[in-house]
């Protein structure tokens, strides 16, 4: 399934129906008076968050969403039928922006939450509404009001509990696969993971949380390097972060420096991200070079105020302690304590993806 996390669409609410000018002219009813009914109200465009969806792919194929217009009023006191609302299901975590102003219109951050994005027009009043003792045969009625029209940008920000961040090939996807039933693609080349992977870690009855592997974050990600700019926004929704580091085969790479660089990228994207509650874990401890470097890594990160855990997804060593530590951190940081996400227009800042939000292949390194 293709992962689409940003689209632009036109939303058009229904127009209100026109009021009617009519008079009763039945036999045996002289001077029947006005009988023009009101027009029906136009339908609204409503976005409905549903947890069965995980991508905006369905909306990526639609250029516009349009609600039904109300019917015109008719004679014999008949009111026009109201237009049917157009209800659009979107994934939980979808934010709706006005594409022209960048204003946040709605944040659909809960299952079953519904928000009216475009309001339908009011139906016009028929001449029956204008009858008075001084004007018993009014010759006027109102036109229906047009429905709202908007160009909106939808951004999906994953609502995972734990955001797993780190440079490519540090073992994030392997970790997700080891503690959940998720089966991400795993290989030993950079940018194997091109879309976020979600997994549910279960520690026991009523003890589970969702982890998200956030791909493509490297040095310069906040300026568009790698895939980071496209996926950094997903980190904003995570209650806590798990920063995974390891010893890279490149001798010029240092795990502690990698940690500092990634912290800098998070701070550039959003100042609140660098302050998010965090655990730091060293992966691949089954490798001799990692075991050898572990004391030095611990010393460097503890000097920065971080406790360091270690694990091997291949052998399972340290995974239970890591999950328990994440559970404790999540209990101490409920979702309602999350700072509001940063809102930003992104029309010219997207290095990848076409105008409809479909991802393209990343550029060659």
Residue 26 · residue 32 · CB < 8 Å: yes
Is 114's pLDDT higher than 80? yes
Domain ranges of the chain: 6-156, 162-337
What's the N-to-C CA distance of the chain in angstroms?
25
Mean pLDDT on 257-269: 82
Instruction: State the Cα angle at 158 between 346 and 339, rounded to 5°.
Output: 75
Residue 108 CA to residue 104 CA, distance in Å, equals: 11
Find which of 80-84, 224-228, 315-319 is predicted with most confidence, using mean pLDDT.
80-84
Q: Give Dmax over CA atoms of the chain in angstroms.
A: 105
Provide DSSP, 175-239: HHHHHSS------SSTT---S-EEEEEEEETTEEEEEEE-----TTGGGT-TTHHHHHHHHTT-S
Residue 10 CA to residue 152 CA, distance in Å, equals: 6
Tell me the CATH number for domain 6-156: 2.70.210.12
Is 365's pLDDT higher than 80? no
Using CA atoms of 285, 290, 296, 302 in order, give the dihedral in degrees to the nearest 10: -40
Phi, psi of 295 (to 5 degrees): -60, -40
Please report the pLDDT score of residue 1 as a whole number.
42
Is 20's pLDDT higher than 70? yes
Question: Which region among 198-207, 255-264, 321-330 has the lowest average model confidence (pLDDT)?
Answer: 198-207
Domain 162-337: give its CATH architecture: 3-Layer(aba) Sandwich (3.40)
Tell me how many helices (H) and strands (E) the chain has. Answer: 6, 14
Instruction: State the Cα angle at 284 between 280 and 287, rounded to 5°.
Output: 135
- Compute the mean pLDDT over every residue in the chain, rounded to the nearest whole number: 78
Residue 241 confidence class, pLDDT cut points 50, 70, 90 = confident
Is 189's pLDDT higher than 50? no
Do the domains at 6-156 and 162-337 have one common CATH topology? no
The residue that leads in pLDDT, 345 or 53, is: 53
DSSP state of 78: B
Which is it for the CA torsion 34, 36, 41, 42, positive or negative? negative
Tell me how far CA of residue 323 lies from CA of 122, 196, 290, 344, in angstroms: 54, 20, 21, 34
CA 360 to the chain's CA centroid:
19
Is 145's pLDDT higher than 90? yes
- pTM, 2 dp: 0.65
Please report the pLDDT score of residue 151 as a whole number.
92
Residue 174 · residue 53 · CB < 8 Å: no
Of 304, 349, 309, nearest to 325 by C-alpha is 309
Please report the pLDDT score of residue 259 as a whole number.
85
């Amino acid at each position: 399934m293709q992962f689409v996390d940003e689209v632009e669409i036109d939303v058009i609410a229904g127009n209100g129906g026109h009021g009617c000018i009519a008079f009763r002219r039945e036999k045996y009813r002289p001077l029947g008076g006005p009988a023009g009914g009101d027009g029906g109200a136009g339908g609204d465009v409503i976005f409905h968050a549903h947890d069965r969806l995980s991508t905006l792919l369905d909306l990526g194929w639609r250029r516009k969403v349009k609600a039904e217009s109300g019917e015109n009023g008719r004679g014999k006191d008949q009111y026009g039928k109201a237009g049917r609302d157009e209800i659009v299901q979107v994934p939980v975590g979808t934010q709706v922006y006005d594409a022209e102003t960048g204003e946040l219109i709605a944040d659909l951050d809960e299952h079953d939450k519904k928000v009216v994005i475009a309001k339908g027009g009011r139906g016009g009043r028929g001449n029956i509404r204008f009858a008075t003792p001084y004007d018993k045969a009014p010759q006027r009625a109102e036109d229906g009001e047009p429905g709202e029209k908007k160009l909106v940008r939808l951004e999906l920000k994953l609502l995972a509990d734990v955001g797993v961040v780190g440079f490519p090939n540090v073992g994030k996807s392997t970790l997700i696969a080891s503690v959940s039933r998720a089966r991400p693609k795993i290989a030993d080349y950079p940018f194997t993971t091109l879309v976020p992977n979600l997994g549910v870690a279960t520690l026991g009855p009523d003890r589970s949380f969702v982890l998200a592997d956030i791909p493509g974050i490297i040095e310069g990600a906040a300026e568009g390097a790698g895939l980071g700019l496209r996926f950094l926004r997903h980190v904003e929704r995570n209650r806590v972060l798990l920063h995974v580091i390891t010893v890279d085969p490149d001798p010029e790479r240092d795990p502690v420096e990698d940690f500092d660089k990634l912290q800098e990228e998070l701070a550039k994207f959003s100042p609140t991200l660098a302050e998010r509650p965090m655990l730091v874990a060293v992966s691949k401890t089954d490798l001799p070079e990692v075991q050898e470097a572990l004391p030095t890594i611990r010393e460097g990160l503890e000097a920065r105020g971080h406790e360091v855990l270690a694990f091997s997804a291949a052998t399972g060593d340290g995974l239970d302690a890591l999950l328990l530590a994440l559970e404790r951190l999540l209990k101490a940081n409920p979702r309602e304590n999350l700072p509001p996400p940063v809102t930003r227009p992104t029309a010219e800042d997207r290095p990848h993806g076409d105008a409809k939000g479909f991802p393209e292949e990343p550029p060659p390194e």
